[in-house]
A and B are shown apart, each in its own frame.
Chain A
């Protein structure tokens, strides 16, 4: 552990330094490759698998049951549709409501009979109907508008705070990287997209920006007087900032990922599918992608954006040597 602290010292003083800005092309390539793969995965797999909250589904209602156990219903539905994750609710005193993904007429009839047998009631006591989406087009539309407004507001806020729009641009590119990768891996795993997963994606938006702001604050501090300096370059100051915040970046992501990993691995095995599994998977991927992008992409991108300005151009060119 003392080695880790030494590492922190060395990164701070510059004794050891990862040349992140200098090797940015490698990191860009890794980022671009993973992003492209993440875009291809859902296309190859034929789109995302949306849950019943988005697509609507089938609803069964069983009247006059002796036991309102949720497990009976889950097993009955899965005997017809393996892999289905029905939502089971007790209604009133002796009725059970089961919501599943949309079933065709034949499957629907089979589930109806399976449920009647499982609960020991006449098949006439089980009614089925179609239900609409709780997360309908209206909710999605509102969420998308909110998202656009949010990105604009945050970009302006960051531009005001950092006094340059270029940091906002770099942060947004990093954000795009994180969200696309999270979506891609989520599609790869093949979990249903539920409202819980969407909430996970939204959390990643906030986390990714948050993480980048912390690194950029040090970048801003280090590069304040760089234009007066004759002995250092813009690029090397940004690189120093990234190195100086490296220990913090690693510590923060470990601390953020630990509770999420606990829910994902410990919880999901005990809990099975559901809200916690979906949200924690989205967050697990997102936090790791977010840490990568704020360390290896955001800072170098900012250097590239600024190096087009005349006053830094020569120095940055020199730094490449």
Chain B
């Protein structure tokens, strides 16, 4: 690469870096105009800022005990649900032998509360009988929605109009879940009397999955007799939210929850749709119930064998995300209600953060002093790079705490302070390579270019290890570990950005200045001190020029077989020959 080219590309890199910084800052500035969550101050986690403590108590009938296993399972599921909404390092613990305390930063909204407390038991049942939500004797339409509902979903318009069904007298034992013989006289009586406007379900009521269920939809406009459970939420392998695709593949504004079933679920779902498809309305409908209420009851329009389904209802972006997260991590073994919801202060005094930051600052000053001592003039590059890294980390954290719900905890602060060491290591690897090249007798400009091609490999490999660590831990863990992994991954990426777009370009430009290229004693690249004359000492092996070229020939033959390895070998052989050839 010619000199002017290298200057050009160095300036280009620096310009791009500036663009990233300005872009991030601009993003936050523009965001803060429209969204109050966007701010230049990163949000702090529970330990530093406090938040809200929600005490959940189980919805069980009086006298019924909650087993420790149920409680532990609920804690585990709630923790995953809370984690799914962002990297917030929340605290989920049991209190006594009944309650669960969820402490989350900030103030939870309705959706967040629904996310943590709803048991989210999803069931697929065949529709046997349906009618309007009021008792059959009454003509009044219910006006109020049923209390205790856990979702905004409501019946879709594509459902068939409710129709009154004449009392049915069972003649035989039911043979399949759609069999009308399930509807006994007793059941029919209960159904007729049901008023969706009343609170007809006990909170936390557990239904027997093997018998029919009488219930209403979540808005209370329709009531149903449903067959036994055929597919359960436990058979869902994954759930996500998204907008419904129209038949032409375009995205519509309707939000839906997409379900993927596991093998058992796929088979069961295929069986259900196969059986329902030829039936007449309303028995061709299947109802999807959430915690006992029907969220939707679509008619079967095809036999579905693919193992996936889509629930539409009156969802918006947030409520569909809540349901998807609930279904993904499974239903709670018991339902919970919010017993109390209170603000809590930070568990660590503000002096903890201040002292931590002071300690970090002292550490940073020590790093700067050491690096000036070791690298003299080059310390400017180190300090400059650290400042750029600090600005980038700060901006990224501000953006992520706005977009991803990231919260900075004291452990996170410690992680950032530790990252100083790992970031500076990249410069050290690079600088040492440059010095090695100067020791070989190269001029600074050439040395910088040569050293870079070698150093970047090492930096990429070592950062690759760090990033893999971060990614694996982030994907597979929950709670504090996840928060740590996030910080580690972030600082690793920023390390790369800084080395590629700041340190290297800056060094390229500096290499052309007189101060550095002349090998001034204070430049850190003092050619005399680095013995550019090329000392050949005890540990060096000497090979004659002819032997060295012989090696290259050997390596070239090898190249036909193994291109990349051989290339490197040849390269190394030439380098070795140069290194030792000056006898």
Residues of A within 8 A of B (CB): 1-2, 4-6, 8-10, 12-15, 17, 56, 59, 68, 70, 87-92, 95, 97, 129-139, 142-143, 145-147, 149-150, 153-154, 157-158, 161, 163, 195-196, 198-199, 202-203, 205-207, 209-211, 213-214, 217-218, 221, 224-225, 228-232, 236, 240, 243-245, 247-248, 251-252, 254-263, 266-267, 270-271, 274-276, 279-280, 283, 287
CA distance A202 to B71 in the complex (A): 29
Taking a contact as CB atoms under 8 Å apart, the answer to whether A13 and B478 are in contact is no
Taking a contact as CB atoms under 8 Å apart, the answer to whether A150 and B425 are in contact is no
B366 on the A face (CB < 8 A): yes
* Chain A residues closer than 8 Å to B50, beta-carbon distance: 89-90
B91 on the A face (CB < 8 A): yes
CA distance A254 to B425 in the complex (A): 10
Taking a contact as CB atoms under 8 Å apart, the answer to whether B344 and A97 are in contact is yes
Give the residue among B373, B417, B464 with the most A Cβ atoms within 10 A: B417
If A134-B92, A158-B465, A258-B363 touch, does A199 touch B484 (CB 8 Å cutoff)?
Answer: yes
**A89 touches which one: B347, B411, B439 (CB < 8 A)?**
B347
A-B contact pairs, 6 of them (CB 8 A): A14-B538, A90-B344, A138-B72, A205-B469, A231-B542, A271-B351
Chain A, Cβ-Cβ closest to B540: A14
The B interface, classified by DSSP as helix, strand, loop or mixed, is helix
Closest 7 CB pairs of A and B: A14-B539, A256-B421, A259-B363, A132-B94, A267-B359, A262-B363, A146-B476
Taking a contact as CB atoms under 8 Å apart, the answer to whether A150 and B535 are in contact is no
**B439 touches which one: A12, A232, A279 (CB < 8 A)?**
A12
CA distance A13 to B537 in the complex (A): 6
Separation in Å of the B361 CB from the closest CB of chain A? Answer: 8
| Contacting residues of chain B (302-358) with chain A, CB-CB under 8 angstroms | 342-349, 351-352, 355-356, 358
Chain A, Cβ-Cβ closest to B463: A210
| Contacting residues of chain B (549-583) with chain A, CB-CB under 8 angstroms | 551, 554-555, 565, 568-569, 572-573, 576
B400 on the A face (CB < 8 A): no
* Chain A residues closer than 8 Å to B371, beta-carbon distance: 255
Q: Given A1-B374, A276-B356, 7 other A-B contacts at CB below 8 A?
A: A129-B96, A138-B79, A146-B472, A260-B421, A263-B417, A267-B355, A271-B356
Separation in Å of the B34 CB from the closest CB of chain A? Answer: 32
* Chain B residues closer than 8 Å to A280, beta-carbon distance: 414
* Chain A residues closer than 8 Å to B418, beta-carbon distance: 203, 256, 259-260, 283
If A142-B477, A150-B469 touch, does A228 touch B529 (CB 8 Å cutoff)?
Answer: no
B199 on the A face (CB < 8 A): no
B25 on the A face (CB < 8 A): no
Chain B, Cβ-Cβ closest to A257: B421
* Chain B residues closer than 8 Å to A68, beta-carbon distance: 345
CA distance A96 to B481 in the complex (A): 28
CA distance A163 to B564 in the complex (A): 12
B362 on the A face (CB < 8 A): yes
Cβ proximity bits B35-77 to A, threshold 8 Å, 1 near / 0 not: 0000000000001001001000000000000000001100110
Separation in Å of the A17 CB from the closest CB of chain B? Answer: 5
**A225 touches which one: B359, B373, B573 (CB < 8 A)?**
B573
**A248 touches which one: B349, B366, B373, B432 (CB < 8 A)?**
B432
CA distance A229 to B552 in the complex (A): 12
| Contacting residues of chain B (110-161) with chain A, CB-CB under 8 angstroms | none
Taking a contact as CB atoms under 8 Å apart, the answer to whether A91 and B540 are in contact is no
If A129-B95, A139-B479, A202-B473 touch, does A270 touch B465 (CB 8 Å cutoff)?
Answer: no
CA distance A92 to B50 in the complex (A): 11
Taking a contact as CB atoms under 8 Å apart, the answer to whether B542 and A154 are in contact is no
Separation in Å of the B487 CB from the closest CB of chain A? Answer: 9
* Chain B residues closer than 8 Å to A236, beta-carbon distance: 539
**B356 touches which one: A2, A158, A255, A263 (CB < 8 A)?**
A263
B360 on the A face (CB < 8 A): yes
Taking a contact as CB atoms under 8 Å apart, the answer to whether B472 and A149 are in contact is yes
B436 on the A face (CB < 8 A): yes
If A12-B439, A139-B477, A266-B362 touch, does A206 touch B47 (CB 8 Å cutoff)?
Answer: no
**A199 touches which one: B91, B464, B481 (CB < 8 A)?**
B481
**B540 touches which one: A13, A252, A255 (CB < 8 A)?**
A13
B507 on the A face (CB < 8 A): no
* Chain B residues closer than 8 Å to A199, beta-carbon distance: 411, 414-415, 480-481, 484
* Chain B residues closer than 8 Å to A274, beta-carbon distance: 348, 352, 410
Separation in Å of the B114 CB from the closest CB of chain A? Answer: 22
Taking a contact as CB atoms under 8 Å apart, the answer to whether A150 and B473 are in contact is yes
Chain B, Cβ-Cβ closest to A255: B424
CA distance A95 to B47 in the complex (A): 17
* Chain B residues closer than 8 Å to A9, beta-carbon distance: 439, 529-531, 535
Separation in Å of the A281 CB from the closest CB of chain B? Answer: 11
B211 on the A face (CB < 8 A): no
CA distance A1 to B477 in the complex (A): 46
Taking a contact as CB atoms under 8 Å apart, the answer to whether B439 and A1 are in contact is no
Chain A, Cβ-Cβ closest to B364: A259
Taking a contact as CB atoms under 8 Å apart, the answer to whether B477 and A130 are in contact is no
Taking a contact as CB atoms under 8 Å apart, the answer to whether B481 and A134 are in contact is no
Taking a contact as CB atoms under 8 Å apart, the answer to whether A262 and B359 are in contact is yes
Taking a contact as CB atoms under 8 Å apart, the answer to whether A17 and B539 are in contact is yes
If A14-B538, A256-B422, A275-B348 touch, does A143 touch B435 (CB 8 Å cutoff)?
Answer: no
CA distance A213 to B488 in the complex (A): 17
CA distance A244 to B362 in the complex (A): 31
| Contacting residues of chain B (514-546) with chain A, CB-CB under 8 angstroms | 526, 529-531, 535-543
B16 on the A face (CB < 8 A): no
If A9-B535, A14-B540, A217-B458 touch, does A203 touch B362 (CB 8 Å cutoff)?
Answer: no
B253 on the A face (CB < 8 A): no
* Chain B residues closer than 8 Å to A205, beta-carbon distance: 469
Separation in Å of the B359 CB from the closest CB of chain A? Answer: 3
